[in-house]
Structure 1
Amino acid sequence: MRLRALLDTDALGLRLLGGEEELDRTVRGVMTTDLRDPSRYLSGGELVLTGLAWHREPADSERFVRILTAAGVAGLAAGEAELGSVPEDLMVACARHRLPLFSVVEDVSFASITEHVVRQVSSERAGDLAAVVDRHRRLMSAGPAGGGPEVVLDLLGSDLDLRAWVLSATGRQIAGSALAGQGPALPAALRARLAGEHLAAVRAGRRWPHRVTAGAGTTYSLFPVGGGGRETPREGHEVRQTVLSEWLLVVEADAGDWPEERLDLLQGVTQLIAVERDRRDAARTVRRRLAQEVLELVQASAPPAEIAARLRVAAPVLLPGLGTAPHWQVVVARVEWSGTEVAGGPVAQALLEEILVDPTAPGPEPSDRIAVAHTGDEAVALVPLPALAGDAPDAEPAVRADALLAAVREPLAHGLADDGRLTIGVSAAVLSAEGLRGAVEEARHARRVAAARPGSVCAAGHQELASHVLLLPFVPDDVRRAFTARLLDPLREYDRRHRAELVPTLEAFLAADGSWTRCATRLHLHVNTLRYRVGRIEQLTGRDLSRLEDKLDFFLALRLG
């Protein structure tokens, strides 16, 4: 807006004292100050409002106006309440530096002027940005030359001074504006919380934008990328088909009192970002087909040579530029919904493609290294690995179940709500096509172990597939309770009455492989005291801790209990 427009608004109570030839200056903001030197808070284009508390002598006016002029402000408006009128020396200084000067009548507050300027500037800038966004949408629709989501986020930063980020449903940062990059990065815990709050709001069907206050009172507004209208979810859309894989736009601002024009602009921005999301999803088609072909060969028990040949074809696509077949790891995931016909396989496929992204991987897109197939309600990912050191079979794999679980459990639990469940199994690394079938089965076994655990998001790795872990989850609950009670209840009751610590002693004795010396040292006991406690355990339970069978029963009971 122009200074002239402010002068033409009678309700603002502005009277021009000088600088009529400069009234076409553009006003980009407003600032109220009584500091003698406000330069650190000025960026140019502001209308400065002052009550003149800084004015003590005529020389103060020259210093103050020179500072404003150097900062590139649009104009100065002085209140009359402090001194009764605007000093003559201030008018002279403004005329010398060609700075437009206004007086503000006493019965008009600076807050009223500020609100009017901010409202007008925001609306005009939003309108200009909307036109830019529309042009950029056409560019992005035409092909990759239009740029990615960072470009449109930079428009929000440069034109509306909004820090903004695009996050995945798991809280991974996909893009951020240049303005967002100038401040502290969003911590991983905050990104996970924002994603979780967004998923919870989507599942509840709440009207967007969703607002979250975090940290030191900072408010973030969350917008679904490519979502429908603000009042209701998209008509005919089953939210459980996409809730775990959609992106969200995070804006560091409270959009609760934004005008409709700005909300419409942000909706247009999300639709523009959705173009890029859809393009990335389409680019996965080849990798998905390769993974499906390999999975079908494995499940059909094809000869290892045939599987190896298919992997050699897949390697250049999955590892562009390397040209050699890597080692592989398999991850299996299942998404299950209660009371719905939504197929879990495609949902799990899109979700694995997201959570297996390695943001540190080189290449045009980290997702270029992920191939995920699905069959029924299950998704199977082939994760290529670099050559392992010395081809050691016990080398550390790239994907670990505990790390996956820690990264996605909080946000995805909100998206799954009380009617969904995600279970993940991770295999060890395999060094050849001969081991791929075993890796798929190992990952499936690990997923079944994860499924036996409580919680809406569970994962298990190949390291957990010891015999007792494979066995225990599939024992019926009533049998497990009876078995545990028969062995441990006598010890627990004795401990309750005598504080004898028999159960901790039993745990330490088994952990020390039955070594009296190591166990006594660990418990800080004399060996004779330890022998007394073990004898009491055997007496109360009728078991013999020198027998392997009885040691195993106690071990299982402690794990079950």
Structure 2
Amino acid sequence: MRLRALLDTDALGLRLLGGEDELDRTVRGVMTTDLKDPSRYLSGGELVLTGLAWRHGAADSEPFVRILAAAGVAALAAGEAELGDVPEDLVLACVRHRLPLFAVHESVAFATITEHVVRQVSGERAGDLAAVVDRHRRMMTSGPAGGGPDVVLDLLGTDLDLRAWVLSPTGRPIAGSKLAGAALPADVSAKLAAEHLAAARTGRRGPHRALVGTTTYSLFPIRSSGRSAAASRDVRETVLSDWLLAVEADAGDWPAERLDLLQGVTQLIAVERDRRDAARTVRRRLAQEVLELVQTGAAPAEIAARLRVAAPVLLPGLGAAPHWQVVVARVEWEEVGGGPAGPSVEGGGGRRAGGIEGGPVTQSLLEEILVDPLTSGPEHSDRIAVAHTGEEAIALVPLPAVSAEHDGSESGILADTLLEAVRDPLSAGLNDDGRLTLGVSAAVHSAEGLRGALEEARHARRVAAARPGRVCAAGHQELASHVLLLPFVPDDVRRAFTARLLDPLRDYDRRHRAELIPTLEAFLDCDGSWTRCATRLHLHVNTLRYRVGRIEQLTGRDLSRLEDKLDFFLALRMS
């Protein structure tokens, strides 16, 4: 704003005492001081408000004004409440240094002037910044990226003093302003992502307010230009893939101009999001081609040739062919509209896609989940190739070849690690009607093993789907035979099987306190060893033999037979 505008505002009660020729100066801020030397707090362009408490005599005015002029302040406004009138020596000093001087009527509080100037200056800055953002958006739309989200976030920091970050749906930091300094702590990022996803599921318009500890954040959704055009589509189709802009401020009392500016910023960042999505097209196509070859039973040599094409794209500069790992994901939603859900492909009933094309949705989400935040390079996603088929998303993940010094420990992606990173925020986005299940294969060393890795990952995902929770994952380590079989046995069959074998023992224990069930568990755990089992239970071997005989009598089974031992083992696991 200009100094001239201050005189045109009657509510400020300002009277010009000198500097008529300098009224076109620009005001960049406001500062109140009664220090003799406030230079350390001045950066230039301020309107300085003073109550004249620093002045003890006429000789004090000249050095005070000289300091202000040297600092490049826009003008000085002196209050009349202390001395009644602004001293003549101060007026003359301001004339000598060409510093505009205003008198502030005693009925006007400095806070009133400060609030007016800050509001006007902020609005002016927002307007200027909006023009810059608009130019930047046009540049990014018409050509190569002009610096990405960091550029516009830096503008927010330098021009509006706003600390801001761009976060993924899982809370992964994508960009941040220099003013923001260090990245948000991981727990804060995850909390903000969860708050955003939960608010988005309600259908409320952003920005959404989130309080983490004692800090208030405003969360603005960043919607891809392609997806946002389809406003009538189910919100569940985009909620798990949209980015968000987290601003360390409460936008509840912001003027419309500033809110419009931040909406423009989100649109600009959305352009960058679309650019990154487009860059993933090649990797997606490579993954789709490999997947089709694997599923149609192509010769290993043909698959290996396609992998050789994919490796340089996913791991540029890698000398040797990598190992490969497969991750399978599926997002399922309950039926929309209040009716019962259709039958689940998992065999348990109660879930289906609900009209959403689940494959592409899960593909975008899996690409985000598999990002390694420690990966170097311009893009964190440059080692991820995800295809989709039906309702599944299938990731082909290259791993660098294991060195000769490798200690044999587990390498590559671990299901537990994935789950820990994304469970909390994504559970908020899935709300009460969605589930995400993940399966992770072991690493394979050649094209011949890729088909087995795909089936292994799919089996692991089905094991995860049999568990409770909104977000579940399982790895190849969990695919023991009974783990593979039990989740897919219908519930009524499980109940009948366990009741037939174990109910007689439970009834006997209840009536006689005989502890047959604990004895059976210990006997199987000790591989049928009488001595080890008796030692574990602190029993005489004869007492143990009596109990095992009673178990066999009540159930009609023989614990010396492998088949009967296996039946008891499965019944205990299902109970």
TM-score range normalised by the length of the shorter chain: 0.7 to 0.9
Aligned to 2:333: 337
Aligned to 1:380: 394
Which digits, 9 at most, give the CA deviation of each residue in 1:163-183, with x for residues without a partner? Answer: 221111111111112222x3x
Structure 1 residues 223, 489: CA separation in 2 closer, same or farther (over 3 Å shift)? farther
5+ long unaligned stretches in structure 2: 336-353
Aligned to 1:287: 283
Query: 1 CA distance for matches of 2:63 and 2:559?
Result: 91
Aligned to 1:258: 254
Aligned to 2:172: 172
CA drift at 1:291: 0.9
CA drift at 1:228: 11
Query: 2 CA distance for matches of 1:71 and 1:204?
Result: 52
Give the letter aligned to residue 362 of structure 1: S
TM-score between both structures, scaled by the size of structure 1: 0.85
TM-score between both structures, scaled by the size of structure 2: 0.83
Query: 1 CA distance for matches of 2:517 and 2:4?
Result: 85
Which digits, 9 at most, give the CA deviation of each residue in 1:243-301, with x for residues without a partner? Answer: 21111122222222222222222222211111111111111111111111111111111
Identity rate of aligned residues, in percent?
75
Give the letter aligned to residue 269 of structure 1: V
Q: Secondary structure at the match of 2:264?
A: helix
Q: Map of 1:23-34 to 2, 5 A cutoff?
A: 23-33=23-33
Q: Which of the numbers 351, 368, 376 marks the counterpart of 1:354?
A: 368
Q: Secondary structure at the match of 1:460?
A: strand
Query: 1 CA distance for matches of 2:132 and 2:41?
Result: 29
Structure 1 residues 496, 26: CA separation in 2 closer, same or farther (over 3 Å shift)? farther
Give the letter aligned to residue 140 of structure 2: M
Give the letter aligned to residue 132 of structure 2: V
Q: Secondary structure at the match of 2:240?
A: coil
Q: Map of 1:370-519 to 2, 5 A cutoff?
A: 370-390=384-404, 395-480=409-494, 487=502
Structure 1 residues 375, 448: CA separation in 2 closer, same or farther (over 3 Å shift)? same
2:203/2:235 contact within 8 Å kept:
no
Give the letter aligned to residue 347 of structure 1: V
CA drift at 1:97: 5.3
> Does residue 108 of structure 2 align to residue 108 of structure 1?
yes
Query: 1 CA distance for matches of 2:38 and 2:195?
Result: 39
Structure 1 residues 474, 22: CA separation in 2 closer, same or farther (over 3 Å shift)? same
Structure 1 residues 338, 145: CA separation in 2 closer, same or farther (over 3 Å shift)? closer
Query: 1 CA distance for matches of 2:571 and 2:49?
Result: 76
Query: 1 CA distance for matches of 2:473 and 2:245?
Result: 28
Q: Which of the numbers 278, 297, 305 marks the counterpart of 2:274?
A: 278
Aligned to 1:314: 310
Give the letter aligned to residue 175 of structure 1: A
Q: Secondary structure at the match of 1:244?
A: coil
Q: Secondary structure at the match of 2:482?
A: helix
CA-based RMSD of the aligned residues comes to 3.9
Query: 2 CA distance for matches of 1:101 and 1:165?
Result: 41
Aligned to 2:293: 297
Query: 2 CA distance for matches of 1:505 and 1:36?
Result: 88
Aligned to 1:221: 219
Query: 2 CA distance for matches of 1:431 and 1:457?
Result: 29
CA drift at 1:450: 0.5
Give the letter aligned to residue 380 of structure 1: I
CA drift at 1:316: 1.4
CA drift at 1:222: 2.4
Structure 1 residues 431, 393: CA separation in 2 closer, same or farther (over 3 Å shift)? farther
Q: Secondary structure at the match of 1:366?
A: coil
Query: 1 CA distance for matches of 2:90 and 2:544?
Result: 94
5+ long unaligned stretches in structure 1: none
Structure 1 residues 49, 538: CA separation in 2 closer, same or farther (over 3 Å shift)? farther
CA drift at 1:424: 0.6
Which digits, 9 at most, give the CA deviation of each residue in 1:142-195, with x for residues without a partner? Answer: 222522121122222222222221111111111112222x3x421111111212
1:516/1:530 contact within 8 Å kept:
no
CA drift at 1:346: 0.7
Query: 2 CA distance for matches of 1:391 and 1:301?
Result: 35
2:290/2:307 contact within 8 Å kept:
yes
Structure 1 residues 338, 91: CA separation in 2 closer, same or farther (over 3 Å shift)? same
> Does residue 250 of structure 2 align to residue 236 of structure 1?
no
Aligned to 2:193: 195
2:166/2:244 contact within 8 Å kept:
yes
How many residues are paired up? 552
Give the letter aligned to residue 172 of structure 1: R
CA drift at 1:351: 1.0
Structure 1 residues 18, 490: CA separation in 2 closer, same or farther (over 3 Å shift)? farther
Aligned to 1:49: 49
Q: Secondary structure at the match of 1:384?
A: strand
Aligned to 1:150: 150
